[in-house]
């Protein structure tokens, strides 16, 4: 089980039980603002915005909040001065960590993230220290229910994807990053339901965690980063050994 897929599963379960609606809405709003700022407010022309809004609606984010976020992105309400930044570092056991951040105060954010690294057995590194261990890919999670695997694979390959794998209740489609928009549009036109669609950093090599306590520390660290207001995405190049994964699942 690859590190990104396992962590995606953890994030999916976490989202289902997350009661911190204000924090969740803040993150969703930032996604909408960024998508609107980069591609405009026309949902037909800006599929990233369309799916950012769909994700917000699925989380029961009020329409007024969504509208304000779109208008902030287009500048109608005064554009938020957000900067997109990537921070890099190491977790327990030398696990490589990438943090994609959206912030209006870099000095504050970097200080807070550095403090988290230091307190949790890791350390923040310089730009480029671990990014070479990841490659950007387009990911699409499609619910298995009602889907024929062979038919979906044919559609995905025709649209430019390079792989399809079964991941529990979902099919995971991966593709080169420059194919993201074309595949998103193609799946939409073919009425294929999409649970999530993201450009993600996929580890090219992984570290296997074979100690339960180290696994706990790593998961806790990633959850703390996920919970930070400015952190939009967290990536780490680790796998959990089967016995460690089983032990952690039994503790939930």
Q: Residue 73 pLDDT more than 60?
A: yes
pLDDT on residue 99: 96
Residue ranges of domains in the chain, CATH in brackets: 3-74 (1.10.10.200)
**Is 24 exposed, middle or buried, given 0-12, 13-18 or 19+ CB atoms closer than 10 A?**
middle
Per-residue pLDDT band for 168 (boundaries 50, 70, 90) equals confident
- Go through 182-208 and write b for each residue having 16 or more CB atoms within 10 A of its CB, e for each that does not: ebbebbeeeebebebbbebbbbeebbe
Per-residue pLDDT band for 136 (boundaries 50, 70, 90) equals very high
pLDDT on residue 93: 87
Q: Residue 11 pLDDT more than 70?
A: no
Q: How far is CA 80 from CA 115, 247, 251, in A?
A: 26, 44, 41
Structure tokens at 116: 């988290």
- Percent of the chain exceeding pLDDT 90 equals 42
Go through the chain and tell me how many residues it has: 252
Condensed to tens digits (0 to 9), the pLDDT of residues 13-35 reads 444 444 456 677 888 888 888 88
Cα–Cα dist 23/43, whole Å: 25
pLDDT on residue 50: 86
Per-residue pLDDT band for 235 (boundaries 50, 70, 90) equals very high
pLDDT on residue 91: 93
pLDDT on residue 17: 43
Return the SS3 of 171.
strand
Better-predicted residue by pLDDT, 235 or 233: 235
End-to-end CA distance of the chain: 19
Return the SS3 of 122.
coil
Q: Residue 198 pLDDT more than 90?
A: no
Averaged pLDDT of the chain: 85
Structure tokens at 53: 């809004």
Condensed to tens digits (0 to 9), the pLDDT of residues 35-62 reads 888 888 998 888 888 878 988 888 889 9
Q: What is the rounded average pLDDT of the residues 143-157?
A: 91
pLDDT on residue 79: 55
How far, in whole angstroms, is CA 23 from its chain's centroid? 16
pTM of the entire structure? 0.76
Cα–Cα dist 198/235, whole Å: 13
């Amino acid at each position: 089980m690859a590190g990104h897929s396992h962590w995606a599963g953890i994030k999916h379960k976490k989202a289902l039980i997350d009661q911190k609606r204000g924090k969740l809405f803040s993150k969703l709003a930032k996604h909408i603002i960024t998508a609107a700022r980069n591609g405009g407010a026309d949902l037909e022309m800006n599929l990233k915005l369309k799916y950012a809004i769909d994700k917000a609606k699925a989380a029961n984010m009020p329409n007024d909040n969504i509208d304000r976020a779109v208008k902030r992105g287009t500048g109608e309400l005064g554009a938020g001065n957000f900067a997109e930044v990537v921070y890099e570092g190491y977790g327990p056991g030398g696990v490589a960590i990438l943090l994609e951040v959206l912030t209006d105060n870099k000095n504050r954010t970097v200080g807070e993230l550095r403090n988290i690294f230091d307190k949790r057995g890791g350390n923040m590194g310089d730009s480029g220290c671990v990014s070479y261990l990841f490659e950007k890919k387009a990911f699409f999670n499609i619910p298995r229910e009602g889907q024929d695997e062979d038919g979906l694979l044919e559609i995905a390959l025709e649209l430019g994807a390079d792989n399809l794998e079964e991941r529990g209740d979902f099919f995971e489609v991966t593709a080169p990053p420059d194919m993201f928009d074309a595949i998103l549009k193609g799946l939409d036109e073919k009425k294929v339901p999409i649970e999530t669609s993201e450009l993600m950093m996929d580890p090219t090599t992984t570290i296997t965690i074979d100690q339960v306590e180290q696994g706990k520390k790593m998961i806790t660290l990633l959850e703390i980063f996920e919970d930070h207001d400015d952190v939009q995405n967290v990536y780490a190049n680790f796998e959990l050994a089967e016995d460690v994964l089983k032990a952690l699942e039994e503790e939930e």
